[in-house]
Structure 1
C-alpha cells in the first residue's frame, strides 16, 4: 500500500514548500545524467563495463517495489561490525540472526540487501537468487582498544562472486592517514569485481578530526564530500554512497586544499540542501555514476519524517535513491518494512520531480 502525496507532504512539515517547489540553478537538471528506466542502456552501456556488469546492474534496478523506475532502495546492515553487534541489534535482537536482515529487505521491497561477507554467506543458498546481494568487503573493526578508525579488508571479491552476489561494496575514509592504502586496496578490488561482472558501490566517507571545528562539522560539507565522490568515481565506483550534505565551505574554513569561489557563488547558490546534494552528484561525473544518500542514525519518533526528507532531497537533486539501515532494522520487521516502503513512495510519486 502506497503512501499518498498528501501524506508525504505532511511528513515534510514546515519544509514542504521549500523542498518541493525549489528550482535548482547551480547545475540545471538538463546537464545531468538522471536515473530512469533506460539508465543502463543510456548511460552504463557507454562505459567499459562488461556485459555481466550491465546484467547485474540491470537486476538491481529491476528488483523490488522500485523495479523499472531507475531508482533504488537498499537495506544496509553492516553495523554489527561498524558499531558493534550489541549496540546495533540490542533494540531488536532478532537481527542477530542474518536471515532476518534479508527477510526485512525482501518484505520492505528493496532492490538489494547490503551486508557483511558472513551475514550474506550464512544464507546465500536460500536467498541469493531472490534478492540482489551487495557484499560489503571492508569494515572499521571496532574492538581494538583504544578504538582505531580504519577500513580493513574482511573478505575477497571472489568470495562474494562465489556466493552469488550481484555487487560488492567498500568504504574509503577520505582525508584519513590510512586513505592512501584504502584507495589502492579498493581500486584493486573494484577492478577484480568488474572482471567477474559485479557492480561496485563505494561509501565515500570523510574522516579526520581536523574536519570538525568547535562551530561546525565539515565531514558533511558539500565541497569536501563532493571531492570524495570525485575520487570515488575515479576508481570506477558504479554507485556512490554519501551522507546528505549539511553545510558547505569546508575548504575555506579549514584553510587547506584547493577550491574556487564559483563553487560557492554559482554552483551551490544559497546553500539550499538540493543545491548542495546536486553538487555531490555533479562530482559523480554529472550522475554517470549515480548518487545514493545514506539514511543516517535512528532517532526514534522522527525517523520516518527524516527519511522522507532525505529521499525528497536526493530525488529532487537528481540522485538514484536511498540506502537506509538503522532507521529500519532497529524496529519490528513490519514497522521497518513500512518505513522502507514510505521512502520508496517518494521515488514512485510522479508529483515529486527533479528540481
Structure 2
C-alpha cells in the first residue's frame, strides 16, 4: 500500500478493516493503483436506456465479457454493473478486477423518479465484489424511501465487509432542468451521499448555475467560473475531501471534452472518473486509447 492510499483510508474512521481492505483493492488496482485516483467502468445503461440505445453503435458491447475485458485491458480501478452483467462473466474473470454490484436500477419507460432494488448484498458476496452501488435521486418524491433502502443495504454491506458506492443524482420535485446540474444542488447531493455513509460518492460535473434561492447569497462572492473550481467545491461538500468523490462521464461527447473533464477533475482535487458510454460506445481500440490518455492525465503526465 502506498502512503497516498493509506492517507485516504485513514480518513475512514469507524469503518471496519474488511471494508477498508475492499477500498484498498479498488485504490491499488490497475494503472492508477496507489495514486489515489480512480477510473471505473460502469455498465448499467442497458437497464436505464435499453440494449440498442446502449450497445448498437458498438455491437461487441452486447456481450458482458466485452466490458470485463475492456476494464482489465485498460488497467482500470473497478468495473460496476447490475447482477446479470456481473454473473455472466464472474467465473471467467474472477479475481482479475474489483467489481461493484449495482443493486438498484430503473428503466426509461418509468414515469416515477425511482429505482427498484434488483440485487442483494448476498449476491455481491457470492460474486466476490468489492462494493455495492446504489442510486439516489435527491429531489424526487421517492427519495425518503431510497434513503431508507440504502440505510439497510449499507448496514448489511458494512457487516459483510463490502464498501458502498452511492450515485447521487438530483432530479424531480421542485428542481428545474438546469437545477439538476446546478453547483449548489450538486454539492448538496454529494453531501447527502456522504451523510448516508457512502465510501465512494458518484456525482455529475456541475455547472455554475445556482438553483436554490436561499443558497444564492452564500455563493455570490465565490468564483466558480472554472469547472476545476466547481469540482473543488464538490470535494469540499464531500466532508472536506474525507470521502472519495468520482464524477460521471455523462452522455457521449467528443474526446477533447472528455479529456478536459479529466483535467478539471484532477486540478479540482476530485478522485477520478466513472466513465461508461464515452468508452464502450466507441470501437475497442479507440476506447483503450482514450482510457490510456485519461489515466495519463490523472497521473499528471499531460
> Do structure 1's residue 149 and structure 2's residue 149 form an aligned pair?
no
- Which residue is equivalent to 2:220? 264
Q: Is the 8 A contact 1:248 1:276 kept in 2?
A: no
Structure 2: state its 5+ residue gaps.
Answer: none
1: CA distance, partners of 2:5 / 2:31: 18
2: CA distance, partners of 1:264 / 1:184: 35
How much has 1:244 moved relative to structure 2?
0.5
3-state SS in 1 of match to 2:40:
strand
- Which residue is equivalent to 1:246? 207
How much has 1:350 moved relative to structure 2?
5.0
Q: Cα 1:177–1:347, aligned 2, differ >3 Å: closer, same or farther?
A: same
Higher radius of gyration, 1 or 2: 1
Paired residue total? 301
- 36-45 or 90-99, larger mean C-alpha shift: 36-45
> Do structure 1's residue 323 and structure 2's residue 289 form an aligned pair?
no
Q: Is the 8 A contact 1:113 1:131 kept in 2?
A: yes
User: Which contiguous aligned blocks of 4+ residues in structure 1 show a shift greater than 3 angstroms?
Assistant: none
Q: Is the 8 A contact 2:224 2:230 kept in 1?
A: no
Superposed CA offset, 1:287-323 (max 9, x none):
1111111111113xx2x11111111111111110011
1:48-67 aligned at under 5 Å gives the runs 48-67=14-33
How much has 1:67 moved relative to structure 2?
1.1
By relative contact order (CA 8 Å, sep 6+), the higher-ranking structure is 1
2: CA distance, partners of 1:130 / 1:315: 26
- Which residue is equivalent to 2:182? 221
Superposed CA offset, 1:74-130 (max 9, x none):
111100001111110111111111111111111111110111111011111221300
Structure 1-normalised TM-score? 0.81
How much has 1:212 moved relative to structure 2?
2.3
> Do structure 1's residue 38 and structure 2's residue 32 form an aligned pair?
no
- Higher relative helix content: 1
Q: Cα 1:270–1:119, aligned 2, differ >3 Å: closer, same or farther?
A: closer
3-state SS in 2 of match to 1:291:
strand
Q: Cα 1:270–1:56, aligned 2, differ >3 Å: closer, same or farther?
A: closer
1:149-188 aligned at under 5 Å gives the runs 149-188=113-152
Superposed CA offset, 1:137-196 (max 9, x none):
11113345xx44311110111111111001111110110001110011012111111111
- Which residue is equivalent to 1:230? 191
